[in-house]
Structure 1
Amino acid sequence: MNVPNRITISRILLIPIFILLLSYPFNWGTVTLFDQSLPVAQLMAVILFAVASATDWVDGYYARKYNLVTNLGKFLDPMADKLLVSAAFILLIQLELAPAWAVIVIISREFAVTGLRLVAAGEGVVMAAGQMGKLKTVLQILAIITLLLHNIPFAFIHVPVANILLYAAVLVTIISGVEYFVKNWHVMEDSK
């Protein structure tokens, strides 16, 4: 197994730890940032999420630079991303930091695009991610991080950046999903 695939698997293995940090009532106290208290376990989860999210860029860069792109990597990388982001958004609902409707929209788009990719793969068509899809991912990651941080440091200046990022992520998620289907609808017509 090559290095990029090992990095991707490490991202998948970090997901249960991330879930545990946000789900189990650890009593490790709180940390104060910008005059706001945050549970230590939640801060650790944010750091873990940020590291796991960064590994997505690292494994992709490494695979392309050294020509180590494999079918296993093509399967594992998007799955790892979807598992990590979906787990985070579902936990945000549990923590009452994000509305369920927004998370449903985001996760529904992922299911729909994955389904379209499966149909395309069955037809021998490879569908690359577009710029809107990449922007969607960045906005989702930033939204998750700022929501888990309770809008720190922006709460200090009374600007709801976490919510702005969340709604921007929802909007771009919808736009990128529609764009994806419009550009690739021929795959559905060809599979009749």
Structure 2
Amino acid sequence: MTNVYFADDRFSKRHNKLKNAIRDKQIILQKTKQKFQNKGKFILDDIKETKSKVRDTIKENVWTIPNMLCMTRIVLSPYLGYLIVNGNFEYALSFVAIASITDLIDGWIARNFKGQKSKLGSFLDPMADKVLVGTMFFTLTYIDLIPIYLTGIIILRDLVLIGAAFQIHYMSIPKPRTLSKLFDVTNTNVQLAPMFISKVNTTVQLVMVCATIAAPVFDYVDHPALQALWWLTTSTTVLSAISYIVHRKKTYKICNNLKR
């Protein structure tokens, strides 16, 4: 009889131990489930907040004169490429002159007239310049008026700067980093402060592409002066990239508001 009681007690202890283990597992599973539910809710809330930010940005007055001028440069850039590829260099020169004037005008209007500065414009203005200049470099390289190595160096430099700015912008976002914070242009952001060598480089690039477009018109293709301008552009582009890397703390400034 004693053995029976002993076996029953041992079975009861094992049963209770197993029951406790099952209960502990259920608690762990419940906590894990709650954790995933909370994380899922956090992601959904973040997506909703991101959509709200996008809607707010869209509601902003984007139909400003500077934005329209920027969009005009972007939309007409392929036509400039078409003119260059088809050898209509006289028209291409006129187009570049008009585009340069609109670039000056849109910046002046945004700075001096109320209601003409916008968040969208802070992105459109540099984008329009990159699209226009990039189109000229690609097409002039395509028709063998600019060496391919030069275009490659310029594109690589721009990609490095864009990548560095994005990385610093991401690191500047307070934790937890979310999509809404990443794409919120009103949030703490990174502003690129142009250095003197960068301004010189931009000027040299514009002079070079304009001189290259004019070369077939005035018959000085492959002139030594034009080739010297290629090397000058290469030098200023490389120096500009090195300066941004060496002085990146001064170059990329964290600011609360993007300025055009």
Q: What TM-score, normalized to structure 1? A: 0.78
Does 1:149 pair with 2:211? no
Cα distance, 1:83 vs. partner?
1.2
Cα distance, 1:185 vs. partner?
5.1
Paired residue for 2:145, among 68, 74, 97?
A: 97
Does 1:13 pair with 2:75? yes
Deviation per CA, 1:134-185, whole angstroms, max 9, x where unpaired?
Answer: 22111111101111121765849x9633322222122111111111122225
In the alignment, structure 1 segments of 5+ residues that lack a partner are 26-38
Aligned CA distance change for structure 1 residues 54 and 161 (closer, same or farther; 3 Å) = farther
Q: Is the 8 A contact 2:208 2:229 kept in 1?
A: yes
In the alignment, structure 2 segments of 5+ residues that lack a partner are 1-62, 173-188, 253-260
Report the AA paired with residue 9 of structure 1. M
Paired residue for 1:84, among 132, 138, 142?
A: 132
Q: Is the 8 A contact 1:154 1:160 kept in 2?
A: no
Alpha-carbon distance in 2 for matches of 1:174, 1:59 = 29
Aligned CA distance change for structure 1 residues 187 and 14 (closer, same or farther; 3 Å) = closer
Aligned CA distance change for structure 1 residues 66 and 43 (closer, same or farther; 3 Å) = same
Report the AA paired with residue 204 of structure 2. L
Cα distance, 1:102 vs. partner?
0.9
Please state whether the residue corresponding to 2:159 is helix, strand or coil: helix
Cα distance, 1:22 vs. partner?
2.1
Report the AA paired with residue 52 of structure 1. A
Aligned CA distance change for structure 1 residues 154 and 133 (closer, same or farther; 3 Å) = farther
Report the AA paired with residue 193 of structure 2. A
Alpha-carbon distance in 2 for matches of 1:78, 1:128 = 13
Cα distance, 1:12 vs. partner?
0.7
Q: What TM-score, normalized to structure 2? A: 0.59
The sequence identity of aligned pairs, in percent, is 28
In the other structure, the counterpart of 1:134 is 199
In the other structure, the counterpart of 2:226 is 162
Aligned CA distance change for structure 1 residues 145 and 185 (closer, same or farther; 3 Å) = same
Alpha-carbon distance in 2 for matches of 1:76, 1:82 = 10
CA-based RMSD of the aligned residues comes to: 2.6
Runs of 4+ residues over 4 Å off in structure 1: 151-154, 185-188
